[in-house]
Amino acid sequence: MFEVIEKDEIARIGKLYTRHGVIETPALFPVINPSKQYVDLSRIKELGFNQIITNAYIIRKTYGDAAREVGLHEIIGWDGPLMTDSGAYQILQYGNIEVSPDEALRYQVEIGSDIGVILDIPTSYPRPRELVEVEVNETIRRARRAILQLKELDPEHRMLIVGPTQGGVYRDLLAYSARMVSELPFDIYAIGSPTTLLQAYNFTGIIKMILTVKSIIPPGKPVHLFGVGHPLILPLAVALGIDLFDSASYMLYANDDRIILSSRTVRLSELDKDYVLDGCGKRAGELMEMSKEERIRLIAQHNLWTLSRELMEIKQRIKEHDIWSYVAQKARQHPSVYRAYLTLSNSSLFRKLTIKLASGLKVNATQLSILDNSDLARPEVQWARRRLRRLIKGMGVLTNVLIIIGDYEEPFIRTQIANEVTRLGVRVFTYNEVYGLIPIELSDVYPFSQTVRVNVKPRPIKYEIRDSVILVEDKYRDLVKFIKCSGECFIIYVDSLKNIKAYEKYVGLALMKRVNEGSGIK
């Protein structure tokens, strides 16, 4: 049903197979209003969306048995993958709907939905914990019953089925929901109810929900994030392993004359009259002079185009193994996204998730820019740090080693400086603020030679270092205090590492003094 074809750490490109075609993930399902659709479906397909979602509850109220007879695709006028929501959004809006969970599931099967969703109970925000707990348990009960029902309703498994997790900001309840639902054989797992958080720009809350669920559900199954469709949050969500999205944002914003741009949302009235909306080819001044209905249609079209372009860029970054550079770039475009990005630094769930799903290995890896300490949470950095810790701890006490701090060309092992110091016959390390000690033998391995660091707080070295020599460029004197060396240690300050030849004899004498005193070389 689901095949991963490309990965970059936790992010992935995949293929989800349905009766009406293959969906390449990450993918967004534009929400289609079966009663009134402003943007033609043919135009939606031209914009790059091969899949859509509509509401089975509204279809049932509008078409009833007719949809069973002719089929959902005929009713909607769509020949590609078509997903249906069960009516849970209406529960979120109105508190209740006039259909049972059993009827909602049966109807989706009978009208020929490619991907159906059980009728869960969404977690609104804010909401008292005791009520959320009751609703979570009811959603789990419905999920179990749905799996049993489908054996009879859909014995050939023609409809993929989505199992939503609920609990919202109550992460212990969300984790419980994820554990219970993940025990059931759903084709797709979903994270429900982030919409109210999205509307409040509470991206941090959404990220915590993603981490909670992704750390529990089976890694081989696709994950859907309900109701999220804005370019600001899509890259980070994909980088954390989200495969599918759905959203009506393109229409909701258009109805309010709001324009979705890559880095923000603006009102039409705030744009210069000559500002061209690339997604519809019209100037802002032209749109202001149009009828309300025509303006909504063209703004909605532009908003879809923006979302499509964002997904294309995300996929390209995954293919280039550069998704986290893009995430870091996007995070700095809005304070709410940056706050969400910052939470990763102190998230034990994120660390566990990277250990579980990220490899750290890169092909044709590009520059890794560490602009501040928030970037230290990136999976590539975490992976490299873990590997270094295991390697260096395995060396035991670092005795009679040479540690170099300063500016040099990357990779260090290929430089003339390296040639000079390796002739001394001792183990050599470089030091930087991101990784700490790096054996020079690894200096040409990703990500050490590709890392460019700016404004990063140095990392104290926790390894036991004794009777060694630290060679430091003058301008990096402040970094010496982060290296604790016991016994008789020499610190040699140089004006430039490029003049290493002039200092070689002093370094050699200091190291030989350690050898002659019997400390040995490790």
pLDDT recorded at residue 357: 87
Catalytic residue among 8, 85, 154, 375: 85
pLDDT confidence bin for 35, thresholds 50/70/90 = confident
pLDDT recorded at residue 195: 82
pLDDT recorded at residue 349: 93
How confident is the prediction for the chain on average, in pLDDT? 90
Q: How far apart are CA 500 and CA 164, in angstroms?
A: 62
Helices 101-110/56-63 angle, 10° precision: 80
pLDDT in tens, 134-146: 999 999 999 999 9
Answer yes or no: is 120 a known binding residue. yes
pLDDT in tens, 135-176: 999 999 999 999 999 999 999 999 999 999 999 999 999 999
Distances (CA, A) of 456 to 329, 452, 459: 17, 10, 9
Q: Is the pLDDT of residue 410 over 70?
A: yes
pLDDT confidence bin for 521, thresholds 50/70/90 = very low
56-66 as b/e, with b when 16 or more CB fall inside 10 Å? bbbbbbebeee
pLDDT recorded at residue 93: 67
Least confident of 20-24, 147-151, 371-375, 411-415: 411-415
Q: Is the pLDDT of residue 362 over 70?
A: no
pLDDT in tens, 206-225: 999 999 999 999 999 999 99
pLDDT in tens, 478-503: 999 899 888 888 888 888 877 666 56
pLDDT recorded at residue 513: 55
DSSP symbols for 291-346: -HHHHHHHHHHHHHHHHHHHHHHHHHHHHTT-HHHHHHHHHTT-HHHHHHHHHGGG
**In the predicted model, what is the mean pLDDT of residues 292-296?**
96
**In the predicted model, what is the mean pLDDT of residues 69-79?**
96
pLDDT confidence bin for 512, thresholds 50/70/90 = low
pLDDT confidence bin for 191, thresholds 50/70/90 = very high
pLDDT confidence bin for 400, thresholds 50/70/90 = confident
pLDDT in tens, 329-360: 999 999 999 999 999 988 999 999 998 888 76
Distances (CA, A) of 438 to 451, 497, 510: 13, 17, 21
Predicted TM-score of the model (pTM): 0.90
**In the predicted model, what is the mean pLDDT of residues 252-262?**
96
Answer yes or no: is 489 a known binding residue. no
Q: Is the pLDDT of residue 300 over 70?
A: yes
Q: Is 474 a catalytic residue?
A: no
pLDDT recorded at residue 494: 85
Q: What share of the chain has pLDDT > 90, as a percent?
A: 68
Query: Backbone phi, then psi, for 190, in 5-degree steps?
Result: -130, 155
pLDDT recorded at residue 409: 74
Q: How far apart are CA 152 and CA 146, in angstroms?
A: 10
pLDDT recorded at residue 360: 64
Could you give all domains of the chain from N- to C-terminal order, each with its CATH number? 2-350 (3.20.20.105), 368-517 (no CATH)
Q: Is the pLDDT of residue 415 over 80?
A: no
pLDDT recorded at residue 426: 82
**In the predicted model, what is the mean pLDDT of residues 249-268?**
96
Q: What share of the chain is helix, strand, coil (3-state, %, to 5)?
A: 45, 20, 35
pLDDT recorded at residue 500: 63
Alpha helix ranges (H) inside 111-170: 129-153
What's the burial of 228, exposed, middle or buried (CB within 10 Å: 0-12/13-18/19+)? Answer: buried
**In the predicted model, what is the mean pLDDT of residues 279-296?**
96
pLDDT in tens, 436-493: 999 988 988 888 888 888 888 887 888 999 988 898 988 899 999 899 888 888 888 8
pLDDT recorded at residue 522: 32
pLDDT recorded at residue 518: 40
